[in-house]
Amino acid sequence: MANERLRDALMHAGHSTSTAADQVGVDAKTVERWLTQDRVPYPRHRGALAALVGRSESYLWPNAVPAQRQKIAATSEIVETFPHRSDVPSRLWDDLLQRASARIDVLVHAGQFLHERPGFITTMKAKAEAGVAVRVAFGAPESEATERRSAEEKLGPGVLGARIRYGLVSYRPLLNTKGVEFRFHETTLYNSIFRFDDEMIVNMHVFGVPGPHAPAMHVRRLSAGDVFETYEGSFGDVWEQSHSAEW
């Protein structure tokens, strides 16, 4: 049986069997067998391949990673938890933003606290101009999902939508910046996601509790884990269902 997950991951990462073989340190025919015969690589090669394509070992070879190791890896991916998002240290937000060199993804309703940070917008602009891909998904101000969340947080009718529209003004300097894309989503937002390369802050939403008062966790990708990948996939699913933001 062919390993379609590995084939797809290599394709999206821009690698052929030859280039993957060179990176991992094996013969191209060996990579071909991994693809076409579903042969499972040795652990050192699994780790190298997973890092090469940016996917977890447990995703590429579901039966190869022992359950106990997956459990340990999942625990290790969670760097730190915070009882409230407001407890995430300012230095951590700054460090994650400054270190980002390939991708920044933001999924929020309004995310006002971000652009209220000194230098956040100018840093995002500089990152994009340096080649970092930036994607930001806001809640659609007039959507049913946004209005429902406004009621659930006891903000009152139209309040969250107004906060989103107010916050968008701060992002205007980024509107014509190459590499920055904005979209509106109309999904039920179970988590706000702030992804910086292979690290992210996840803000779990709780019914009746405003985002700043809900728990958050700092997650770092590990090749054998799938916590980071779960939230990465969730962002991708929301992004695909979103539409271009115009304001």
pLDDT of residue 68: 61
| 112, pLDDT greater than 70 | yes
> How many domains does the chain divide into?
2
31 and 104 housed in the same domain: no
89 and 207 housed in the same domain: yes
132 and 46 housed in the same domain: no
Other CB atoms within a 10 A radius of the CB of residue 211 amount to 24
47 and 117 housed in the same domain: no
Judge contact between 242 and 137, C-beta under 8 A.
yes
Cα gap 103→134, rounded to integer Å: 6
Residues in contact with 127: Cβ distance below 8 Å, sequence separation at least 6, in sequence order: 97, 100, 104, 134
pLDDT of residue 66: 66
Q: Which of 4-8, 57-61, 144-148 has the highest mean pLDDT?
A: 144-148
Q: Residue 109 domain-assigned?
A: yes
182 and 234 housed in the same domain: yes
Least confident of 36-40, 118-122, 178-182, 192-196: 36-40
pLDDT of residue 59: 77
| 195, pLDDT greater than 90 | yes
Cα gap 51→42, rounded to integer Å: 14
Binned at pLDDT 50, 70 and 90, residue 70 comes out as low
Q: Residue 209 domain-assigned?
A: yes
Least confident of 72-81, 96-105, 197-206: 72-81
Q: Residue 70 domain-assigned?
A: no
59 and 88 housed in the same domain: no
81 and 29 housed in the same domain: no
113 and 29 housed in the same domain: no
Cα dihedral 53, 59, 64, 70 sign: positive
pLDDT of residue 165: 92
- The mean of the pLDDT values for the chain is 89
The 3-state secondary structure of 41-99 reads CCHHHHHHHHHHHCCCHHHHCCCCCCHHHHHHHHHHHEEEEECCHHHCCHHHHHHHHHH
CATH number of the structural domain spanning residue 45: 1.10.260.40
Q: What is the mean pLDDT of residues 61-66?
A: 73
Cα gap 96→98, rounded to integer Å: 6
Judge contact between 147 and 160, C-beta under 8 A.
yes
CATH number of the structural domain spanning residue 117: 3.30.870.10
174 and 195 housed in the same domain: yes
86 and 30 housed in the same domain: no
Overall size of the chain counted in residues: 247
Last residue of a domain, one of 40, 65, 90: 65
Relative to beta strand 103-107, strand 133-139 is: parallel
Range of the domain at 219: 75-244
Binned at pLDDT 50, 70 and 90, residue 50 comes out as confident
239 and 140 housed in the same domain: yes
